Structure 1
Amino acid sequence: MVASIPESVDATLGMLTGGNYVADRSLATALHLALSLQRPLFLEGEAGVGKTEIAKVLADQLDRRLIRLQCYEGLDVASAVYEWNYARQMVEIRLAEAAGTADRDKLAQDIFDDRFLIKRPILQALEADERGAPVLLIDELDRTDEPFEAFLLEVLSDFQVTIPELGPMRAATPPIVIITSNRTREIHDALKRRCFYYWVDYPSAAREREILRVKAPEAPAELSRQVVAFVHELRKMDLFKLPGVAETIDWVHALVQLDHLALDPAAIDNTLGVLLKYQDDIAKIQGSEATRILNQIKSELAGAAAVA
């Protein structure tokens, strides 16, 4: 039985919650509209804020196949959409020659057949599936170049690709398309116009604590409060790469593994490599600066507790 698309924003929010994804209502609204109106959803935001996870949760909660196209510089149609199996085609030609087949037009038609077509992620996503339209994740589109963006316009507008030898191949049911970008470069307006857009921001402190409660339930509450407060202070600073939610979760797991019930200067200095990914950032925070931030957040947390 094909799982049904959520019929309301509340149902969409519930679906995300059921997949252990802590979302706010605005994200659930954008996702609900994209699902209901069969439009691609373009998610933009800093790395590590949970954009890719949305597609994974969707596929899991709707029991759909997840087809992931991981983008990179130089990605082309042969890697993303399709290519012909030239080795098998050559074998077919040799067999035809050995059998004395003289009709070259028929042979050309035979070798450009679906049997010799290697289907890559985008073409796979256009195929019918008994579980329902698959979830197509086009991840980190900003890593590709503009020619590949231009190719995607046909896919996102008509949910089809045109193969010169076979003609247009169109999806009977449009796939659920999630596109992510870390905004290392601007994506062209023509592509964005074909999608619903949503900026995935860093979460508030309260929502990030809720994320830790879901993703790291073994962490002491005080440790989670201190970690979130510390990370939020780092996000105010001029660092080469600000820590995302993924790094917050990893840091809490690491601290729990080391049996830390709360933050202290030594724990921070010894584990900063889990939270920060560039040596210049680590050197900037390690030592006296980490101690200063820790003392500041402890004072603020104590003040907040006294007021409560």
Structure 2
Amino acid sequence: MNSSAHPTTQQLREQLAQAGYLADEDLASLVWMGLQLERPLLLEGEAGVGKTALAAACARALGRQLLRLQCYEGLDLNQAVYEWNYSRQLLEIRLTEAGQGDKSKLREHLFSEEYLLQRPLLQAIRSPHACVLLIDEIDRADEAFEAFLLEVLSEFQITVPEIGTLQARSKPLVVLTSNGTRDLSDALRRRCLFHYLDFPTLAREMAIVRKLVPEASQRLVEEAVAFVQRLRKQDLDKTPGVAETLDWVRVLFKLGLQELPPDPQQLVPTLAALLKTRQDSWHMTAERIMNLVGKPPLAHDADVMSGR
């Protein structure tokens, strides 16, 4: 694709914001570089920081189809790339045997692209229009599958033994995400543009919540986000992500709250939106909640809340 067709970094930030994703300048620059260089993006970071959401927002912002491959241990080519449509092939064999086809060309015809069931990787490169390909949680896939990906990510082609090499009709914007459950190979990293996505700052998370839950009061958003930011500093089994913050603010709004209530017991049931393990829920007593709610804001917290 001609580079002039790509938006600028600032235009990308605006388009992503319109798609519901507030990207900082570094992240918008990463997407811009990925489009310009036609290189995959590798996003690492804790679960819940917005890695997967970025791919979906890119698809909306760029007006492209989103194709998603969810990785897991044991993922193989049949689920990720292609498999043969055996029922159609069998039907073609029977029709040919019944005299309705050319037997001399049967094998060549059977093993052609029209009998392939395309899975996300093949679908992405054979699409006539550029799409966004999300390869989610690549660290959960086996190293053998990661090695297979190298051909796709570097050459945008896939080799099918019975057919040969299928070249890309269009080059997708590829977004790989990793939660860091295992180390990725140097070969994979070399083929990608890298960004570590951390939990958002207080100011940025407030902006995200204001945009996506505009019905909530300003004070409720400020107090709730500050609470979650402090909660993340606790010793938790699972740290709540931005999606959990959004859910919690929506719950508080549905309860008719304009600010966090002074009685911590009122908050205990709502923490099901934030705390996702039995141990975290058990440890979050009313007293600990009160400490988190009642803490005076940190210096930078106070600056953000006062608009400085």
Identity %: 47
Report the Cα offset of residue 140 of structure 1: 1.4
Contact 1:226 1:298 in 2 (8 A): no
2:110 is matched with which residue? 111
Q: How many corresponding residue pairs?
A: 304
Normalising by structure 2, we get a TM-score of 0.91
- Residue of 188, 193, 210 corresponding to 1:191: 188
What letter is aligned with 1:57?
A
- C-alpha displacement of 1:128: 3.6
Contact 2:69 2:120 in 1 (8 A): yes
Q: Alpha carbons of 1:258 and 1:306: their partners in 2 closer, same or farther (altered >3 Å)?
A: closer
Secondary structure class of the residue paired with 2:48: coil
> Structure 2: which amino acid aligns with 1:214?
K
Q: Which amino acid aligns with 1:141?
A: I
Change (3 A) 1:85 1:279: same
1:166 maps to what in 2?
163
Could you tell me how far 1:113 is from its partner in structure 2? 1.7
Aligned partners of 1:302 and 1:182: how far apart in 2? Answer: 28
What is the alpha-carbon distance in structure 2 between the residues aligned to residue 247 and residue 40 of structure 1? 28
**What is the distance in 2 between the residues matched to 1:23 and 1:56?**
13
Structure 1 position 302, deviation (Å): 9.9
The 2-side partners of 1:166 and 1:307 are apart by: 62
Structure 1 residue 24 and structure 2 residue 30: aligned? Answer: no
Residues 1:249 and 1:89: Cα distance change in structure 2 (over 3 Å): same
Q: Tell me, what secondary structure is at the counterpart of 2:69?
A: strand
C-alpha contact 1:230 1:297 (8 A) present in aligned 2: no
Q: Deviations over 1:197-248 (max 9, x none)?
A: 0111101001110001101111111111111111111111211110101100
Output the aligned Cα RMSD. Answer: 2.4
| CA distances 1:156-201 after superposition (whole Å, capped 9, x unpaired) | 0000100001100111331111111122222212111101001111
- Which amino acid in the other structure matches residue 146 of structure 1? E
Equivalent residues in 2 for 1:1-308, closer than 5 Å: 5-99=5-99, 103=103, 106-129=105-128, 132-264=129-261, 265-297=264-296
CA gap 1:289/1:300 in 2 versus in 1, 3 angstroms: farther
Q: Secondary structure at the match of 2:158?
A: strand
Q: For 2:43, what is the secondary structure of its paired residue?
A: strand
Q: Residue 17 of structure 1 aligns to which amino acid in structure 2? A: A
How far did 1:276 drift? 1.1
TM-score (norm 1): 0.91
Partner deviation per Cα, 1:61-115 (whole Å, 9 max, x = no partner)? 21111111122221110111100011221222223233398956x3221211222
CA gap of 1:207–1:97, structure 2 versus 1, over 3 A, is same
SS in 1 for 2:23: coil
- Consecutive unaligned residues of structure 1, counting only runs of 5 or more, are none
Cα distance in structure 2, aligned partners of 1:95 and 1:87: 12
Distance 1:297 1:228, change over 3 A: farther
Cα deviation, residue 23, structure 1: 1.3
Flag structure 2 segments of 5+ consecutive residues without an equivalent: none
Instruction: State the Cα distance separating 1:303 from its structure 2 match.
Output: 6.6
SS at match of 2:291: helix
Q: CA deviation at 1:6?
A: 3.7
Given the superposition, is the C-alpha separation of residues 289 and 195 from structure 1 closer, same or farther in structure 2, using an over 3 Å criterion? same
SS of structure 1 residue aligned to 2:183? coil
Conserved? CA contact 1:5–1:36, under 8 Å: no
> Residues of 2 paired with 1:307 and 1:258: CA distance?
27
Q: 1:27 to 1:300 in 2, by over 3 A?
A: closer
Please say if residues 81 and 123 of structure 1, whose CA atoms lie closer than 8 Å, have aligned partners that are also in contact: yes
Which letter does structure 1 place at the counterpart of 2:92? Answer: E
Deviations 1:250-307 (Å, cap 9, x if unpaired)? 1000110111222231232111111111110111113211111111146989976789
- Pair 1:56–1:172, CA change in 2 (3 A): same
Kept in 2: contact 1:126–1:172 (CA 8 A): yes
